[in-house]
Chains A and B, each alone.
Chain A
Amino acid sequence: MADSVYVFWLFGIFVALLAIVGFYCILITSNLIRTLIGMEIVTKAVTFLIILVGRSTGNTGLAQSFAITLIVVEVVVIVVASGVVISVFRRNGSIDVNLFRNLKG
């Protein structure tokens, strides 16, 4: 069990780092597609966490099925999101985040 604790703790750090990188990307960019890429990196972090938990607890069956579900769902979200981005581009001719501030107040 001590081994699992160590593994979880060590690789948990990488989960946190990936999440930081992803959020950093979402926050700082001004390009909608790059925002989606940031989102994907955050998702990677979560996937990694799930697999890591499976590895640490030995419950790999559930973890894998969860991860697979997650991957399927995420791809659909990304598809729809990029569909929105493409529609935005068709409409405005640009995918600049700063044009995206009509709704406020």
Chain B
Amino acid sequence: MTSKPQVYPYIPNSVPAVKAAMLAATGAASVEEFYADVPTELRMDRPLNLPAPLLSEARLKRHVQAILARNRHCGEVLSFLGGGCYQHHVPAICDEINGRSEFLTAYAGEPYDDHGRFQALWEYCSMMGELLNLDVVSVPTYDGMQAAATACCMAARHSGRRLVLLAANTSADKRSHIKTYGRSEIDFVEVAFDPITGLLDRGDLRAKLSQEVAALYLDVPNYFGGIDEGQAIAGLVKSAGAMLIVGVDPLSLGVLTPPGDYGADIVCGDIQSLGMHMSYGGGHGGFIASRDEEALLMQYPSRLFGIAPTSVPGQYGFGDVAYQRTSFDKREQGNEFVGTAAALWGITAGVFLASQGPQGMVELGEGIMKRVAYARQRLSTLPGLRLAHPGAVHFKEFVLDFSATGKTVAEVNAGLRERAIFGGHDLSEAFPALGQSALYAFTEVHSQADIDALVDALREVLAS
């Protein structure tokens, strides 16, 4: 306490007179009385040791903005970073809607006072359902990694088997999380990828499939951007009686076949591409989808919203489907756990999908594939530069191999940064077998001039 009591804008009852009156109403002599149950030996005997506060909004804002000025963001440079988080154009109405106070500050209201929240999330699931050609889509989980981990657990529970095959051309981070998350119930085995194409090594897959296998987990496109032949792989997996789980970039589905169509039993992925800013990793959300089969649906841990008639004829309402699956209802008897995750990004992805419509999704997907193809053509002409996976078709990203240039990726990227370009993500640590390789991503934000600028800058950097 300072000598002059501070009134805080965020704490209305910090007004001394009000505080005193309220204390009187409770019959307490001081706030200390409310802490009577906290033993002395547990009490802090000093104030918290924190930086001096910036009590005025004006000074706080200036302080934070000065810190932010130490960042250099992708809007002021050309960035070709991908690897699970992508720079796409975020439509203004996505920001407008997720910035609305109503959505931003709502939480766990009922389907009546929060009717709009329920409808917006149910519509998100519905539009994802159209994109995926599947009838069941969960409300968002944390991110695509979590969706993948949960999908594996769902498959294990559903099948009663404890072996899950993981494609090795999945992101190392994702494989790490899947294993940590699932290994109490599941034994994981990795399936190799073909070094020429970066695609799944079907021979290795055949060798590892058995009647013990619950599922194969595969990303399409894979971490290197390569597109595998879904149907062929699904055929192998099904012949072993296993399930196929496919992780997919939803933004690819205007041009690529939805995995359910070639036999995936569970489809999952990340919705960051669908209208979320990258925000240094703050824009992620995961989805899980499947056919509407009761046994499979009962394996979902997350909330599922359903539409229902109300007591007014012709009126819709919404509510929780099969709530008794969840840990909210059943604690450890429910499926995994459920809680706050990424609902606002679900609503935003709904706005995105409604804004793109069918034609927008097709154009986005095709445009990205063509930009990638153009970039591959142009980049492969640079001396020493090699496409790591010439044998595959790519969506959004691909691996460039710098091994023959005599420069490390780190050196190249430093040179590019001087030219206001963020080069591709360095894979030399996570995939040492790829040598000095980097993952380059291209989206609709990149114009031909941008790609040409990258080519020119790389030529300079490699020659220097």
Chain B associates with chain A: no
A residues whose Cβ falls under 8 Å from a Cβ of B: none
